[in-house]
Amino acid sequence: MSDITSHKVNIRLPDSSIRTYDGPVTGHSIAADIGAGLARAALAAKVDGKIVDLQLPIEKDASVSIVTLKDPDVLELLRHDAAHALAEAAKELFPNIQVTIGPAIDDGFYYDFSREDPFTPDDLESMETRMREIVDRDEVISREVWEKDQAIQYFESVGEYYKAKIVADLPNNEPITIYRQGEFTDLCRGPHLPSTGRLGKAFKLLKVSGAYWRGDSRNEMLQRVYGTAWRDKKELDGYLHRIAEAERRDHRRLGREMGLFHQQEEAAGMVFWHPNGWQLYRTIEAFVRTRLEEGGYIEVKTPQLIDRSLWEASGHWDKFRENMYSMESEEKTFALKPMNCPGHVQVFRQELKSYRDLPLRMAEFGSCHRYEPSGALHGLMRVRNFNQDDAHIFCTEDQINVETEKFVRLLLRIYSDFGFDDVKAKFSDRPQVRAGTDEIWDRAEKALKGAIESIGLDCELNPGDGAFYGPKLDFVLTDAIGRQWQCGTLQVDFVLPERLNANYIGQDGDKHRPVMLHRTVLGSFERFIGILIEQYAGHFPLWLGPVQAVVATITKEGDQYAEIVADQLSNAGLRVRTDLRNEKIGYKVREHSLAKIPIILAIGKKEAENGTVSLRRLGYKEQESLVLADAVTRLRAEASIPV
């Protein structure tokens, strides 16, 4: 009796009911046991939170749910199978090709191939067509476990030397799992769908790029084919629309068209700001500075180049060295600052502080340098030199809750001013590589969690992603086409004040360590400007426009009056230019519209005689005739900075 009982497997279902089976059971059998409809819809099983193949035996008691197309986790499964279908299609069309790796990624998948001839657009079309044929074949996908030597021998025998190398580098005690579909055999951990027919046809191949084998530039270059896969055509079409929108909004192209900035190889990862772009930058900086002054911040400026000894004392040299730029001078090592915090502690330490001085909110629009691999650089979004709206709040432990609440309110207000109202927060706890004792981390995490609870902030847990000196809150914006961007952050730090010997005199007359709250709202100015450009597709709210209005003449008779109009607008605080060129007004309108000038005021003989302007707004064909004084009053109000 006891032997029979020991082989029973108890399965807890999502409704908390328990089903007992006489021995190992598969997800497929459980689904069939629940109902024929679920068995037909089943794509995989989730066992104790981990997705597995429907046919994989479940040998011990477990919580199990059946994965169908309705399950959020199914997208990764579909994309992984799409990658395998792509590899199978490539092998059928180009028999001499070698396959390497093909994972699911955010919004899609890719597969890296070794092939002498570069893929063409026609090749992508052919592979996508063959993938659809593979779906129609509905090939059974089966899992096998091989010995390591067997796998190496097999892949070498069929000319898949990259696969053989991957297997050879695996630990000897790691099981080698092989998946077969039709004539295609691949090394893979899985899981996979039951058959290729379950993949559906809501997928598309998108592009080809180069990729080094194993991401190492010393290795050979492979061809990476990217694709996307979704649950149905509606989701696919929505994604393709977002891609087209993202391309239309690309800040690099708009940056050129609007005369904002450029980048070049001689200063890779850095920005050459043009007059329009620098005006935009200065407008944002001035606006944020006003908000900081309202919030009780003081502003400082700290050095760019600091001796290695301070970075060693702060812990950055040990934990962050690979991201820092350094140089030798007079037998000393200096580093360009990757962040402002150690410098702010030095300012704090120059005069003995009392508890009455806290909280002390110290801000800096600090220029920082961090090494980013050249392959990771991406316009304004990923740079090596950036400026932060950085600040550090020196406070007591008892002040953390209040300061967190004040900061969150400030951050949400600024985001709303820039047009971002969909904001989410993520709480990140201790990373594996960190400074400080577990006791200090316990205190810091407890303090930040308490602050979150006190203000009722909804947070998603992001485990293990804290800064090396403390837990943090990250704030994520959702833009106009649904993309998410992490910008602002708040970090609770008990470590740096200790390492750099920051003190204040408490009510008891003794020295105490302040808590240091690291915080930014925009984060990198460069990145935030890139996000803004794409959020608005270059069509900024009038208060942000680098050039807010152009006064363009229709005929030469309007030149003198155009200067008067421009002067009055300028005196009202608008950023305005004149266009008196001997060109047709249609040409001028098209040119200034391409540059995303919000307002064009057309001036001809009639307007000069009547003291009026013809006002045209970006994106609209209609124009409005206004008396000059009314136009100035209206535009001045529209261009005012949010209050």
Active-site annotation, residues? 341, 370, 388, 390, 392, 472, 518
Cα-based distances in Å from 571 to 304, 381, 434, 643 = 38, 36, 54, 21
Q: Helices H, strands E: what count in the chain?
A: 21, 36
- 520: tokens are 């930014």
* Integer Cα distance of 30 and 46 in angstroms: 12
* Integer Cα distance of 177 and 388 in angstroms: 47
- 341: tokens are 């915090």
* Integer Cα distance of 532 and 525 in angstroms: 10
* Integer Cα distance of 374 and 66 in angstroms: 43
* Integer Cα distance of 69 and 203 in angstroms: 15
3-state secondary structure of 254: helix
Tracing tokens 């030199």 back to the chain, one arrives at: 385
* Integer Cα distance of 474 and 125 in angstroms: 41
- 293: tokens are 């002054």
Query: Residue 214 gets which letter from DSSP?
Result: G
Instruction: Say which residues have a Cβ less than 8 Å from residue 544's Cβ, sequence separation at least 6.
Output: 280, 283, 284, 532
Half-sphere exposure in the Cβ direction for 454 (13 Å, CA):
16
3-state secondary structure of 72: coil
Alpha helices in 215-340 (DSSP H): 233-248, 251-257, 275-294, 308-314, 316-319
Using CB atoms within 10 A of its CB, is residue 622 exposed (0-12), middle (13-18) or buried (19+)? exposed
* Integer Cα distance of 229 and 76 in angstroms: 9
3-state secondary structure of 496: helix
* Integer Cα distance of 493 and 443 in angstroms: 10
In terms of DSSP bridges, do strands 62-67 and 108-114 run parallel, antiparallel, or are they unpaired? unpaired
The β-bridge partners of 178 are: 144, 187
**DSSP characters for 301-330?**
---SEEEHHHHHHHTHHHHSGGG--EEEET
Query: Residue 470 gets which letter from DSSP?
Result: B
